[in-house]
Amino acid sequence: MAMWTLLKEHTGLTESELRKYVDKVDLMDGKADGKVDTREKCNCTLCGRTILTTALACPYCGGRLHRKSVFSRV
Ligand SMILES: [Zn+2]
């Protein structure tokens, strides 16, 4: 578990504290399945190809994606 060592070194938190945090993050996608699903897909508004919702720009056509976020309440 290299991640634990890295986090412990950089945050000074104990492993149980880190695990509590990870469990919280894990529940953000509604399932305690050990991972957060960040692989949701959507279609590029410019070329229509399937891309990740987390992408800031389309990897196929390079178009910048304009989607609603907490930072842009338009
Ligand atoms: Zn595109």
Dist. CA 49 → ligand 1 center (Å): 6
Residues contacting 69, CB < 8 A, separation 6+: none
Question: How big, in percent rounded to 5, are the helix, strand and coil portions of the chain?
Answer: 35, 15, 55
CB-based neighbours (< 5 A) of ligand 1, an ion: 44, 46-47, 58, 60-61, 63
Whether residue 70 has pLDDT greater than 60: no
pLDDT at position 20 is 78
How much of the chain exceeds pLDDT 90, in percent?
15
Question: In this predicted model, what pLDDT tens digit does every residue of 18-54 receive, in sequence order?
Answer: 687 777 666 666 666 766 555 688 889 899 999 988 8
Closest among 31, 28, 60, 32 to 44, alpha carbons compared: 60
pTM of the model: 0.38
Closest among 49, 48, 50, 44 to 64, alpha carbons compared: 44
Neighbours of 42 (CB within 10 A): 13
Token representation of residue 68: 């609603």
Domain boundaries, the chain: 1-36, 38-74
